[in-house]
Amino acid sequence: MISTVINSFIMDSEDLHLMIDYVGTSGVILNPEQKSALMTSLCITKSNYKFQKVIFWGKISGIKDDYYIAQGYGKDFFGDKKTLYRYVKYRST
């Protein structure tokens, strides 16, 4: 049961554009620019690292800055994985 719940919240980069709006219910909302940049970055990451699959885990909102967390998997799903994060500094307006 728990694994089913967890799997329903994991967002594969392939269908991220379909699932990204559902995270808004948890209070995390990405504007269209952030969504577009995230989807493009995940596609580039998949290509550059030669991953078979990239999964977006989410956004960690800090007091000053944010982090986006993703995991990439190679051919061996359990042994060949790498966790990546992207530091995003807030723009001062």
Contact 67, 85 (CB under 8 A): yes
> Alpha-carbon distance 79 to 32, whole Å?
34
Indicate if the pLDDT at residue 91 is higher than 60: no
Indicate if the pLDDT at residue 32 is higher than 60: yes
Kindly indicate the confidence band of residue 15, based on its pLDDT and cuts at 50, 70 and 90.
Answer: low
Q: How much is the pTM?
A: 0.67
pLDDT at 21: 64
